[in-house]
Chain A
């Protein structure tokens, strides 16, 4: 079959074609036979009695997003808790706490006058 009949394929496939070329190809009885046979071929190559899968495979990456979201929530909670705790604390952490009881020290005098 000559390449002059390629225009018949383009016509069948709804692709751009030159109408003059198509007219010439269909003037040839072999071209007309090819057109009909190609239509019949299209019919018989369609799969029959086949049921396609009805739902998409579960995307695996969603699990990754969930883990990442949970980790981000954990970090935010931890940081927030630390900051709130620090703000509520009244005493500066680098100084000693104030005394609760003051004991006066008495000078030591040994018994017997130091002999």
Chain B
């Protein structure tokens, strides 16, 4: 059994990170995170287990509601100043664009694993799938994103190699 304050302490950061990538804006992610825990505090449902699957099912419904609302009012979505972005935000923008191009279920399953750190069983419960379906979707989405984000992944590989080289030289 989990209470709302315990769930907040354990999961608010992970829920927030999931929203950051699912909606692509930190401010919106913060508002939606508050909305999740507001719904949790109002809910009369007694939560079994650690409550993560239940919490992320609420989070997923909120993302879907938000996206439906954004589709109805596209002018209200925040715009980013392309020229003023630092380099790491270019990668972040590319990641957000690649995620936005995915089917909603694939994106959510992938983010619940990679960003929120949920296990296959928890994701299956949150998204009403089987663990085997979660495993297949995560793999398929990884392969798809790897192709779409080839350039940032190549940069990340180069940076990792440079860091490793520098560490080796420092150790000598």
Residues on A with C-beta less than 8 A from B88 are: 48-49
Partner of B16, one of A43, A44, A53: A53
The verdict on B95 contacting chain A, using a C-beta distance below 8 Å, is yes
The verdict on A113 contacting chain B, using a C-beta distance below 8 Å, is no
Interface of B toward A, CB cutoff 8 Å: 4-5, 8, 12-13, 16-17, 20-21, 26, 29-30, 33-35, 37-38, 41-42, 88, 91-92, 95, 99, 111, 113-115, 119-120, 135-136, 138-139, 142-143, 145-146, 149, 152-153, 156-157, 160
Residues on A with C-beta less than 8 A from B17 are: 46-47, 50, 52
In the A-B complex, the 6 residue pairs with the closest CB atoms: A59-B41, A47-B20, A52-B16, A56-B8, A9-B139, A57-B38
**Is A47 a contact partner of B153 (Cβ separation < 8 A)?**
no
Answer whether A56 and B12 are a contact pair too, CB < 8 Å, given A15-B120, A61-B42.
yes
Tell me which residues from 1 to 57 in chain A have a Cβ below 8 Å from any Cβ of chain B: 1, 3, 5-6, 8-10, 13-15, 34, 36-38, 40-53, 56-57
Residues of A in contact (CB 8 Å), total 34
Interface of A toward B, CB cutoff 8 Å: 1, 3, 5-6, 8-10, 13-15, 34, 36-38, 40-53, 56-61
**Is A50 a contact partner of B33 (Cβ separation < 8 A)?**
no
Partner of A9, one of B4, B33, B142: B142
Residues on A with C-beta less than 8 A from B29 are: 47, 50
**Is A15 a contact partner of B135 (Cβ separation < 8 A)?**
yes
Residues on A with C-beta less than 8 A from B41 are: 56-61
Partner of A34, one of B91, B114, B143, B149: B143
**Is A41 a contact partner of B142 (Cβ separation < 8 A)?**
yes
Answer whether A13 and B120 are a contact pair too, CB < 8 Å, given A1-B143, A41-B145, A47-B115.
yes
**Is B138 a contact partner of A13 (Cβ separation < 8 A)?**
yes
